[in-house]
Copies of this chain bind each other. A is one copy, B any other.
């Protein structure tokens, strides 16, 4: 007889040992999986892995593993490529490739008629400033094509182009994008398994500041987000969990970017759903059926950024996930707090209470 227990007796290697890998292991421990992590030994996921491999030992880890995944797409390229060559990488390199350069991701949306803000690709800084002037009247966003995430390498220019003349000398590729004066930001967490089955959680409302997520909550009831996620997942032949971030402007929804991995705006599924985004990812790449994505409760999340001063009162309102990072740094995601509630208003109130407790003097980002 086929048994799930023997089926799942698999070695899953995770490239990157941050909080996303840490939660993947926390959620996967209930199954017979063995977890390898590639990172330094004090990384959150390394501390709870069955075995931690240093980045230079990536080949050994990948050869020993049955399945390789990643918790961060900007991890050591050689390791991602090697796992792909070995036929073990989920999601596969196509999804990673789009994230290696912004122009590829944006162009992919355009080529597949997926809605995204208007943009142009510039070969260097000089061309970027020229496009900004000619196409956008000096109001827009210049994004370095390579190496930008968490708001890095992005310049929001609102007519004050004089301050940004240094960009003229930059020899890298840029994406020049319209400035979207959005009503709100949103995201969806979706997943697809090896047989092509697709599921998604309800979308959420997100609040970012300086390129970093502060809090999110949901559900947001609008089926269009799921339709876009389904199309993207199918075009990519995607396997695993993904997150897609959107701008919503006058009822129009536009993809800001997607992440080929579990996502910060899906942490609320640890508590508001029966099966979390982390478990769904493991189910997809490990060869199980995807679980139900209906929410059991209204829910949300607040990030703990750049501090370990968390007043004990927060546990009245929510559940703390503390990643155990070795050092507190400005803007660093140290942990998060999940909340559930009777309705959106209740969730939002709890989030506000938690924010007042953790950031009594505002965010220091």
30 contacts between A and B (CB under 8 A): A1-B309, A2-B311, A3-B309, A3-B310, A3-B311, A3-B312, A4-B310, A4-B311, A4-B320, A5-B335, A7-B312, A26-B26, A26-B29, A26-B30, A29-B48, A30-B320, A31-B320, A48-B48, A272-B296, A274-B297, A274-B319, A274-B340, A279-B319, A288-B312, A288-B315, A289-B312, A296-B296, A296-B297, A296-B340, A297-B297
> Contact mask A249-290 → B, CB, 8 Å, 1/0?
000000000000000000000011011000100010000110
Tell me the chain A residues, 42-73 only, with Cβ under 8 Å from chain B: 48
Chain B, Cβ-Cβ closest to A360: B1
Tell me if A321 is interfacial: C-beta within 8 Å of chain B: yes
Tell me the chain A residues, 310-334 only, with Cβ under 8 Å from chain B: 310-312, 314-316, 319-322, 324
Q: A4-B310, A31-B322, A48-B48 are in contact. List 10 more A-B contacts (CB 8 A).
A: A3-B308, A3-B311, A5-B308, A26-B29, A26-B30, A32-B324, A275-B319, A283-B315, A288-B312, A297-B297
Chain B, Cβ-Cβ closest to A30: B321
The smallest beta-carbon distance between A60 and chain B, in angstroms, is 23
The smallest beta-carbon distance between A348 and chain B, in angstroms, is 17
Chain B, Cβ-Cβ closest to A288: B315
A29 contacts which chain B residues (CB < 8 A)?
26, 48
Determine if A322 and B2 form an interchain contact, defined as CB atoms under 8 angstroms apart: no
Tell me if A291 is interfacial: C-beta within 8 Å of chain B: yes
A314 contacts which chain B residues (CB < 8 A)?
4
A322 contacts which chain B residues (CB < 8 A)?
5, 8, 30-32
Q: A29 CA to B25 CA in the complex, in Å?
A: 11
A30 contacts which chain B residues (CB < 8 A)?
26, 319-322
Determine if A310 and B5 form an interchain contact, defined as CB atoms under 8 angstroms apart: yes
The smallest beta-carbon distance between A298 and chain B, in angstroms, is 10
The interface on chain A, measured as residues whose beta carbon lies within 8 A of the other chain's beta carbons, has a size of 40
Q: A291 CA to B283 CA in the complex, in Å?
A: 29
> When A and B form their complex, which 10 residue pairs have the shortest distance between CB atoms, in order from nearest?
A296-B296, A296-B297, A30-B321, A4-B310, A4-B312, A5-B308, A3-B309, A274-B340, A289-B315, A288-B315
A315 contacts which chain B residues (CB < 8 A)?
4, 283, 288-289, 291
Tell me the chain A residues, 173-209 only, with Cβ under 8 Å from chain B: none
A335 contacts which chain B residues (CB < 8 A)?
5
Q: A315 CA to B4 CA in the complex, in Å?
A: 9
A297 contacts which chain B residues (CB < 8 A)?
274, 296-297
The smallest beta-carbon distance between A108 and chain B, in angstroms, is 33
Which of B274, B311, B340 sits near A271, CB closer than 8 Å? B274
A340 contacts which chain B residues (CB < 8 A)?
274, 296
A275 contacts which chain B residues (CB < 8 A)?
319
Tell me the chain A residues, 65-115 only, with Cβ under 8 Å from chain B: none
Chain B, Cβ-Cβ closest to A274: B340
Q: A2 CA to B315 CA in the complex, in Å?
A: 13
Q: A289 CA to B320 CA in the complex, in Å?
A: 12
Chain B, Cβ-Cβ closest to A26: B29
A316 contacts which chain B residues (CB < 8 A)?
289
The smallest beta-carbon distance between A18 and chain B, in angstroms, is 15
The CB with the most chain B CB atoms within 10 A, among A5, A6, A315, is that of: A5
Q: A283 CA to B319 CA in the complex, in Å?
A: 11
